[in-house]
Structure 1
Amino acid sequence: MSAARDWLFADIGGTHVRLCRWGRENGAGDIVRMRADASAGVADALLGFERAQTQPAAHAALAIALPVRRGPLRMTNRDWILDPESLRATLRLRTLCVVNDFVAAAAGVPVLGERDSLVLREGVPGPGSRLLIGPGTGLGVAALIGTTGGDERVLASEAGHMGLAWQGAEIDALHGLGRTRWGRLSWERLLSGEGLGWLHAWRSGAATPAPAPEVASRAAQGERAAREATQWFSRLLGAFAGDLCLAFGADAGVWLTGGVLDGLAETFDAAAFLEAFDDKGRYAATQREVPVRRVLAGDLAFRGLARIVDGACRAPMLRLSAATTHRHRN
């Protein structure tokens, strides 16, 4: 099966699961997208896809929204537990690779074409790392260091769970909400689909948050509270991204992705984002040179998985075979 698509690729998030077959010679096949709610768990989703294939996969690579460690793994924003060894046995795989979903996506950044992203700022690329940030069901982050064709590797991050830091007093009410509802307020609580709903509730005075698609639709129709919510979302995302740019030395560029940005479309306030991104005191001039793009490609994680399993990019992963289990810390 050397020329066959004998790899099963899966991109498993809190809301959707996307799957395809991939082979080193034939590349990726058609991508199937399903709601995570339609499956009982990871194994159920993968088995449902595999039943429709003419031949079983010999290998699988999963990009999944959780920190990758040994043993059973629990997703952060969905009540699913992944037992890698059990899954490998259930699917009768020779090889199973598990990486964080944003680790996979970051590995795909170097192979994006010009039409695969929208330039928010051209900037002047520096020699440092590249940074990928994505608000969706949660808030994903990963950094890519090294040069393409050289010693390139991905750094995993759970930066979305850092405490929210905003210099002004405008969002004090949200800090109070965070302490009351969650015990603390992390960036992910506001920079996610649910977070957009809470920002809208804050601006509109509603008791409960509206779903993110509804907020985006209201903003597109001109509702004031929704427009304010999307502007604050953009501003806070800029502040978060700017801080991480400094932390990771990401002067080679910042890429934005994620389902919330896809849903916001034209209501995403790029000017508010860049103003907050650049507002870093003595480093403001340096920040203004950092390239910023929005990813348009829908298969970024699959592009990254292909590069990881092909050895083009090193990444922290759990790799299991019939005889061994390895936790790679690249």
Structure 2
Amino acid sequence: MVIKSKVSTLEKKVLLVDIGGTNIRTATAEIGSFELQNAHKRNLDCLDSFDEIIENLLNEDMDIKHIVFSIAGPKLHQSISMTNRKFEIDESDILNKFEIDSCHILNDWESIGHGLSLFDRNEMIFINEGNSFNNTALVLGPGTGLGVAQVINNNIVLPTEIGNSLLSMPKLFKELNLSNPEDFIVIEDLLSGGGLKKIYKCISSDEQSPEEIVASYAKNELSQKSVQFFLISLSQILSELALAYMPGSGIYIAGGLMRSLQQFLDIDRFMKEFLVNRKSIHADVLKQIPLAIINQEMTCLHGSLNFINKFSLNLK
């Protein structure tokens, strides 16, 4: 983060900006509160007038003195270049352009990780209740890509680029009878909205958007097969991530795609695939890891607000 040297505490309001792979969401909030105000969603094409949008939002409320961005891409040296679009944002540049006191840039799943402690059990759909055994959790979600972050003690959040790591699951590919395995090189080629679209095309030789696949599920056998293969793939890859990160506090899945797919999820089958081919000692560990879908929208904005609230407390 970049903060003006004269600022010793964070007061006034904050502008929250979430730049995802498809949309931009914005909201304002009082620092210290947990309530989002003036929430709005725009198509990503408006990035062409990004500076104008930010300037207008700041001019609408002169009490806004801080901005938190959550952006789909890896953060390096106070800047983020988006993974799926040619767009870069830098904290120092933002602070110099606009009349604000602080600017904070987070990876989008870093933001969601900071918001994990905000969500109650009644805002989650549990796949496995588990039995928590440490203070480490994973938050992840298939969307335009696949985002994953590690959360330690509900305070330290470590975003990853695991979605862009190599995918090597020959048994899965054999089941799908892939004609174009080169289309599935990294994990998010399979576990994302685009991945669901590719799965459908492999099965049907036809193209459908993820939204169309979900909408036609009840009447289209190919949609059913595609969605179920996607969910099986998710369960098996979650199993790999669980053994890699040992998230004893749970694995929490967020995002609109999973909220729309959860109605088709067979919990018994999902857990069977989550444990498949594991030695008994590892299966016993996996059974204790809570698994849940976060049934909440605007998770990035909520997480960004919680981040700046915690940051403000640390300055006092």
Q: Provide TM-score, normalisation by structure 2.
A: 0.86
Question: Are 1:245 and 2:245 counterparts?
Answer: no
Match for residue 47 of structure 1 among 32, 50, 55:
55
* Equivalent residue, structure 1, for 2:255: 258
- Report the 3-state secondary structure (helix = DSSP H, G, I; strand = E; otherwise coil) of the residue aligned with 1:200: helix
Per-residue Cα deviation, 1:16-54 (whole angstroms, up to 9, x for no partner): 111111222444323212221234164344334334x23
In the other structure, the counterpart of 2:180 is 177
Which of 206, 223, 228 is matched with 1:226 structurally? 223
Instruction: Give the match for residue 37 of structure 1.
Output: 45
The 2-side partners of 1:313 and 1:228 are apart by 48
Structure 1 regions of 5+ residues with no counterpart?
315-330
Secondary structure at 1:273's aligned position in 2? helix
Cα offsets for 1:118-141 (capped at 9, x unmatched): 111211111141111100111000
SS at match of 2:168: coil
For 2:223 and 2:176, how far apart are their aligned partners in 1?
A: 19
Query: Hey, what's the Cα distance between the residues in 2 that align with 1:134 and 1:42?
Result: 26
Please give the root-mean-square deviation of Cα atoms over the aligned residues, in Å.
2.5
- Contact kept, 8 Å, 2:79 with 2:105, in 1: the verdict is no
Deviation of the 1:144 alpha carbon: 0.7
CA distance in 2, matches of 1:272, 1:44: 49
Aligned to 1:323: none
Name the CA shift for 1:313/1:277 in 2 (closer, same or farther; >3 Å). farther
* Alignment CA distance shift 1:242-1:42 (3 Å): farther
Residue range with higher mean Cα deviation, 40-49 or 297-306: 40-49
Q: CA deviation at 1:92?
A: 2.3
Deviation at 1:313, TM superposition (A): 11
Q: Is the 8 A contact 2:136 2:247 kept in 1?
A: yes
**Pairing 1:1-330 to 2, within 5 Å after superposition:** 5-27=12-34, 28-40=36-48, 42-51=50-59, 53-55=60-62, 57-70=64-77, 73-146=80-153, 148=154, 152-168=155-171, 169-171=173-175, 173-174=177-178, 177-179=180-182, 181=183, 185-206=185-206, 209-219=207-217, 221-282=218-279, 283-311=282-310
1:57 CA drift (Å):
2.2
Q: Secondary structure at the match of 1:228?
A: helix
Q: 2:119 is aligned with what amino acid? A: L
SS in 2 for 1:154: strand
Structure 2 CA distance for partners of 1:144 and 1:11, relative to 1, 3 Å? same
Sort the Cα spacing of 1:54 and 1:246 in 2 relative to 1 into closer, same or farther, 3 A. Answer: same
- Supply the AA of the counterpart residue of 2:13: D
Distance change >3 Å, CA 270–CA 15, structure 1 → 2: farther
Contact 1:63–1:104 (Cα < 8 Å) also in 2: yes
Equivalent residues, number: 301
| Runs of 4+ with >6 A deviation | none
Structure 2: state its 5+ residue gaps.
1-8
Partner letter of residue 45 of structure 2? Answer: D
Kept in 1: contact 2:10–2:312 (CA 8 A): no
- Structure-2 change in CA distance of 1:4 and 1:312 (3 Å): closer
